[in-house]
Structure 1
Amino acid sequence: MLSVENLGIQFGGLKAVSGVNYSVTPGAVNAVIGPNGAGKSTFFNLISGFYQPTSGRITFGGEDVTRMPAHKMATRGVARTFQTTSLFKELPILDNVLQGHRLRMRSGIWDAILRTPRLRSEEREARERAAFALDFVGLSPRDPRPVGMLTQEAQKRVSIAIALATDPKLVLLDEPAAGINPDETEGLVRLIRKMVDQGYTVCLIEHKMNMIMNISDHIMVLHHGQKIAEGAPREIQGNPAVIEAYLGGGHRA
């Protein structure tokens, strides 16, 4: 699936990510954890094409994608959400999710002007894909409310639906449980498991350790931009370097 070799990025004199070697386990829940400022979101920005690395190599599906920009990574099958939801708050749910499938459309300006059969076919496919994604995450595509009227938890589900509408192979979730209560977190855990059961590979960043230890198949730990451990949850919980850097620092479930 996706792997990185000696991956790094430097901003001036700051090495935000340095010398990371890592492979995403296909068909599983992969987690990236670490203290605030450890380089987790920067790592996601690198592997999704939002940042260009200053060192190292990224491969996806056997292809070198080290310099590939985000929109092309999305067409290859890498989708992501962000820690802070960025939605069109005034538009209905379905209209938001329709944006996710547009990267798969090939119609151009003349198709739009002439309302060609190709455009009509692609618009129909986009609506079907958006409706599927919303049903998948537990929301109704027929809900007419603007997204801004939804709860924070529901907006996070809309963000995941947008990612699924791109028809991804790998879904990157950046702190999906931030700002939601324990019951909502458990619902999100069920959704992530459902995603994996349906063939998606998931990689997530999260600070809720009970959630991570219960749902993850494989965990990588970053600290000061470097990988200090990786393995199964039980291995990570007992790793002295992790305990000293993170888990022993009064983590909250």
Structure 2
Amino acid sequence: MESKFLDKVKDNAAVRMWSKKTQLEKGDSLAEGYISGLSGFTRINVTQNELQELRDIWARWDVETKQLFYQSYGDLPYLLDIKVDKYLFRAMAQFWNSAYSCFTFGKVDLVPIVKEYIALLRCPKVQVDKVYSKAASALAFVKKLMSITRMSEQWVTARIQQNGDGRCIPWVSLRDLIVAHPDTMRKVEVFALSICGLVIFPKALRYIDEAVADFFDRLDKGVTPVPAILAETFRSLSACRRTSEGRFIRCAQLLLAWFHSHF
């Protein structure tokens, strides 16, 4: 986190060459009769969770606690320092081509791929050949939170709230737990869960969604969330372009880190 994310982004020249070669070989993938083209101006809202409280907690931790986090979850905290430039993001969104699910800059098409996002995520538990999908026999939300936080069922149940069509837990409840929990490993795990919910898979502002707990519960098994992150990123961009407005509700930090790695 202390080092700048741009210092660690690898050269993507090989990926670009592979992408160009594949497109030339495979040709166009659009349905017959469909015309590709960039739509008009999109009034995209890139409001994200305020991450200062997470940054403050991280800054107060000693070296040993930070090392424990790095060993378990890699360098995820660097995402907290990526400033979401709303003007740059809005400019990028104007070049999102929903027909091809890629950015079209003149004659150049660019799109994040799994390999790039795995490198940018910097989480050692992620394995490229283990794609995340929700388990059919997944534990209930309450049980997952009990397992992660090591808190009682009564404590967890009292804090779960209904938000729209899903359930979630307020960030303030997890924040207070991180600050007060006597077990250092529990602090680290709840902090990692909070980064996943507030940065990587943000939905409702200042809440951690039930789906995030399901992913986090399976992170120990080495599954990669990257295909899900990319799919949700593409879906959110396309939804905003389709309606010419809307809030981008996925990880703007990762998308901007990817963008800077190419330019």
Could you state the TM-score of these two structures normalised by the residue count of structure 1? 0.23
Structure 1 or 2: larger strand share?
A: 1
Structure 1 or 2: larger helix share?
A: 2
Structure with the bigger RCO (C-alpha within 8 Å, sep 6+) is 2
Could you state the TM-score of these two structures normalised by the residue count of structure 2? 0.22
